[in-house]
Amino acid sequence: MSQRLANSIALFEQAVRHIPGGVNSPVRAFRGVGGNPVFFKSASGAHLFDEDGNRYIDYVGAWGPMILGHKHPKVVAALHEQLDRGIAYGAPTALEVQLADKICEILPSIESVRLVNSGTEATMSALRLARGCTKRDKVVKFEGCYHGHVDSLLVKAGSGALTLGNPDSAGIPADTAAQTFVLPYNDLDAVEHLFSIHGHEIACLIVEPVAGNMNCVPPVPGFLQGLRDITARHGALLIFDEVMTGFRVGLSGAQGRYGITPDLTTLGKIIGGGLPVGAFGGRKDLMQQLAPLGPVYQAGTMSGNPLAVTAGLVLLEEISAPGFHAALEAKGKRLLEGLTTLAHEAGLPFVTTQVGGMFGLYFNENDRIETFAQVMQSNVARFRTFFHAMLERGVYLAPSAFEAGFICAAHGEADIAATLDAARAAFAASK
């Protein structure tokens, strides 16, 4: 095996002894691309450094939170200050009030919000709340959308479940899965049809307003508005899962970008600035059904942890600067245009998608990507070759053909140029 990754290889051998598959989250195991996962030791700005001292330009960004780049000085300084004050109290703090206020200011559809510790917890809790409020049991999701590893949402899910070719997990009772309807993404007719039959049983429809766990698939015009109209007509709640898109495709997420008001929103990733935070929130009348006010129980020992909330607060403050997201988007556009030109020069079918600071790369014959079926026509073998050719040249992409990529504020022009240089050689190697 490669001398370049000698320490990562040794660490992985050690890891598999006491950690299932050697990883604490499946996509990290490189099953989607083959080879040995890279073990990282440090990170700074747009760069990651592995255990062998190799440097990488990072387009994963800890799966989203590192939108400012790694180890942003203001985030680090605020964390040091909070560390000196205390780590956890298990009681209310001024910090969580500030974060709640900030979230509600940025996302007007959220009138009331509760903090949790992960995106999964957020979607799980939002689903329970939707069921408790509507007194209905059924939920609707879309094929290829991933909403965390919640039992009733791990049906035809994306992300690791897709990468592993194992969309339905073992251990989920058939009765639970049977409560979930799964529809094709971007297909409003299918939604209309389902609701015309089952509308009265449906508690909620949950959607990634830009799908980011089957690579990156933007909503077609009218799709999200259609979901808003249909759910409202049938008394079902619309949940935007903005764990990935929130504060990413624009400061106010996909709901701000597309001008849609969901009933409930789930947040994660960016909101914790790299520490474990999630949140769900929305209409006040719904949120007031939560304990201690109402009958829907939800709780968390670590929820609102002062360190995690501190990182989130500083991050949200920084990315609220005017023009922040436009700059991210422009930079991403330059990268994608460069990649597309190089791929086509190499004679490879290649198409990209982009919404704000998130993007998708496809070795795919379609001239645009709007459906799960089109995503599945991607040449995964070619992606694997490309991924490893980029990795060898110091560019770290998500280790799967079915994950979105992320631009961060710390990516400089030199990083973009170096990425394109690497890609020129990597495309040639992928023919």
Ligand X SMILES: *Cc1c(COP(=O)(O)O)cnc(C)c1O
List residues near ligand X by CB under 6 A. Answer: 118-120, 123, 146-148, 208, 212-213, 241, 243-244, 268, 278
* Cα 314-320-322 angle, rounded to 5 deg: 145
- The distance of closest approach from Cβ of residue 404 to ligand X in the complex, given in angstroms and rounded to an integer, is 8
- The distance of closest approach from Cβ of residue 119 to ligand X in the complex, given in angstroms and rounded to an integer, is 2
Point out the catalytic residue in the list 56, 146, 258, 362: 146
Asked whether the beta carbons of 400 and 32 are under 8 A apart, the reply is yes
- The distance of closest approach from Cβ of residue 249 to ligand X in the complex, given in angstroms and rounded to an integer, is 12
Strand-strand pairing, 237-241 and 264-267:
parallel
**Phi and psi dihedrals of 428, rounded to 5?**
-60, -35
Q: What is the C-alpha to C-alpha distance for residues 206 and 282, in angstroms, rounded to an integer?
A: 14
Q: Which is nearer to ligand X, 48 or 127 (CB)?
A: 127
- The distance of closest approach from Cβ of residue 153 to ligand X in the complex, given in angstroms and rounded to an integer, is 8
With CB atoms as reference, the residue minimizing the distance to ligand X is 119
Q: Which is nearer to ligand X, 248 or 325 (CB)?
A: 248
Point out the catalytic residue in the list 58, 269, 331, 362: 269
Nearest to 182 by CA among 220, 153, 148, 151: 153
- The distance of closest approach from Cβ of residue 344 to ligand X in the complex, given in angstroms and rounded to an integer, is 30
Q: In the β-sheet with 180-183, what is the strand arrangement from edge to edge? A: 112-116, 278-282, 264-267, 237-241, 202-207, 138-142, 180-183
Furthest-apart CA atoms within the chain: distance in Å:
61
Nearest to 334 by CA among 226, 280, 413: 413
Q: Which is nearer to ligand X, 154 or 389 (CB)?
A: 154
Nearest to 277 by CA among 44, 106, 121: 121
Point out the catalytic residue in the list 52, 58, 187, 241: 241
One DSSP character per residue, 377-410 reads: TS-HHHHHHHHHHHHHTTEE--SSTTS-EE--TT
**Phi and psi dihedrals of 24, rounded to 5?**
-100, 5
Cis amide leading into 292 (omega within 30): yes
Q: Is 241 a catalytic residue?
A: yes
Q: C-alpha distances in angstroms, 424 versus 60, 107, 341, 380, 417? A: 20, 41, 10, 19, 11
Asked whether the beta carbons of 107 and 179 are under 8 A apart, the reply is no
Query: Computed over its alpha carbons, how large is the radius of gyration of the chain?
Result: 21
Q: Which is nearer to ligand X, 5 or 66 (CB)?
A: 66
Q: Which is nearer to ligand X, 216 or 342 (CB)?
A: 216
Task: Write down the residue that tokens 């998130």 correspond to.
Answer: 358
Q: Which is nearer to ligand X, 146 or 350 (CB)?
A: 146
- The distance of closest approach from Cβ of residue 280 to ligand X in the complex, given in angstroms and rounded to an integer, is 11
Q: Which is nearer to ligand X, 254 or 416 (CB)?
A: 254
- The distance of closest approach from Cβ of residue 400 to ligand X in the complex, given in angstroms and rounded to an integer, is 13
Q: How many helices (H) and strands (E) does the chain have?
A: 15, 14
Q: Which is nearer to ligand X, 69 or 278 (CB)?
A: 278
- The distance of closest approach from Cβ of residue 21 to ligand X in the complex, given in angstroms and rounded to an integer, is 17
Asked whether the beta carbons of 287 and 112 are under 8 A apart, the reply is yes
HSE toward the beta carbon, residue 16, CA cutoff 13 A? 10
| Active site (catalytic) residues | 146, 241, 269
